[in-house]
Structure formats: C-alpha cells, structure tokens
Amino acid sequence: MNVKPDSKVLIQGITEPLAAIHAAKMKAYGTNVVAGVSPGQGGQTIHDIPVFDLVEQALPITGSIDTSIIFTPPYLVLDAALEAIAANIRQLIIVTSGIPPLDIVYLLRIADANKTLVVGPNSMGIIVPGKILLGTHPSEFYTPGAVGLISRCGSLTCEVALQLSQAGFGQSIGVNIGSDAIVGSSLRHWLPVLNKDDNTKAIVLVGQMDGDSEETIAPFIAEEISKPVVTYIAGRYAPTVKRQRRASDLIVSQPVIEDEISTAEAKIAAFEKVKIPVAQRPSQIPELVKKALKK
C-alpha cells in the first residue's frame, strides 16, 4: 500500500461530472493528481490537470503512477482498470458502482496475478487525514489521529468519522472497501494492515447486514489482531427478508448457510461471542474506543 503525500495519482474518467468535482477537491486537499484520462477528450485541462486519451500517453510526462481512481461508466470500468494495470499502476480505487459481476471477477483475477490492490467498486476510496485524499470522502469530517476506520458502508464511513472527530479521536486512515456484491480488498485484507501500522492505536470496523463477511471476520480478529477493535453493524432494525439468489452470489462463492439473509443480530452475536465491543449506534463508538484504549 502506497498512500504517501507525494504518491502520484491518475483519475480515469476525469471528464465525468462526479470525477471533475472530486478532482478539484483532491487537489485542494494536497493530493498529487498528475493527470486525467478520458478517451476522446485528450489535450484539455481540468482544474489544471492535463487530460490524455490513454494512460500510456500520460506516462512519458508524469513518470510512473502509484494510484488510479476510476470514475468511468460501469461498462467501461474493466477496460480502464486493465489499461491501468498494463501501465504498472498497482493501486486501483473504483468509485463506479453497478459494474457487471463477470467484469469484476475477471478484473480481480488479473489484479491478483499482477499484485495490484483493488479498492471497490462502489467505494469512497481512502483518506489519510491531513495527508492525502484518494476518492470521494468529505475531508471536513476527518481529523489526523490514531484510529483506523474500515467500512463497508459509504455514508456511514463519513458519519462515524465525524463522531470520532467531534469526540477528539482523529483517524490514521479511513478506508471504504465498497458495498457492491463483489469487491476487491476485503475487511480481512485491511485489518492486518492497520494492525501493523505504527500510527494506528485502535480500529473501528463498520459493517452492514448483507453478506457474511462480518461473521467470518469476528474469530479472525480475536485470533490475529492485537490492537483494540470496535464495531458497528448497520441495519439492526431493518426487517428480515428472503435472500435474493443472484448470479453474483454464486460468483463470489460464499457459502450460504441459511435461506434467510444474514441479519445484523447474527453479526452482532458473532462479535460479542469473541468479546469484541459492538456499538448500538454511531454516537456510541467514541466511548467504546475510549474504553478499549484504556485496557
């Protein structure tokens, strides 16, 4: 993982309206955005960022690039990501949602073979408060500190960051892994990263009711993570519904244990079983972090 302030950042799909807005915000935050790519739009500049038709056209001017942030439309994401990987860009953040499942499966196979980190799709990206913004996080919610924040929920990532900041707990990093059915880097990937990070003293994990990643990650935290972890699961009061069997469920190859969708209560029970504190609401998270740090 390379998220240093001087990391070179590329924005693919920079002429998309959402990308243009957040390109300006990333630059204002101090992120080293060196180029944008948008086929057919090369030769212009957006917020003083030069735009190229192809990634390979940008490289002779920018030099090697560390991270690409992808805003392209869903059916163009695979081509954009493969183009970035071919250019030896080893960190991809995919903001776009609704990408065809088979496209993501193929992309993740290629990324794994090329040792490329993929965050997303449907991700707000990564922020290291006070240093670098990679994606769409609202930076005003974050302050530098020692709490690592990992989340599957986009908007809740921001809410939890704000609650922590208002309570005096700054963040060492904020990572939104994405909430689509199939995503790249997982909770299991990021937890050991933060466990080894010298700037992180405690970890907050924000999950949601669909899928089973939280149930499977609870024993992993108890056995492998030495730093204090506090969790919050969204959907505690959501109604239980029948699982919708989709092609993506089969592609992900996650075992289906029961016919009902995994409930927030089941996830909470999994964490409580291994004595990991679970907040009942986001506003309770700072107090649980305070208690965890005292132990």
Quick one: pLDDT at residue 257? 37
- Supply angle C-alpha 250, 253, 258, rounded to 5: 80
% of residues, the chain, pLDDT over 70: 91
pLDDT digits (tens, 9 = 90+) for 137-191: 999 999 999 999 999 988 899 999 999 999 999 999 999 999 898 999 999 999 9
Of the candidates 145, 111, 109, 139, the one whose C-alpha atom is nearest the C-alpha of residue 124 is: 139
pLDDT digit string (tens) for 17-63? 999 999 999 999 999 999 999 999 999 999 999 999 999 999 999 99
What percent of the chain stands above pLDDT 90? 82
pTM of the predicted protein model: 0.91
Q: Which domains does the chain have, with CATH numbers?
A: 9-119 (3.40.50.720), 138-294 (3.40.50.261)
User: Per DSSP, which regions of 177-292 are E strands?
Assistant: 202-208, 229-234, 278-279
> Per residue in 219-260, pLDDT tens?
999 999 999 999 999 877 666 655 444 454 444 444 433 334
- Cα–Cα nearest to 120, from 87, 71, 158: 71
Round to the nearest angstrom and report the end-to-end CA distance of the chain. Answer: 30
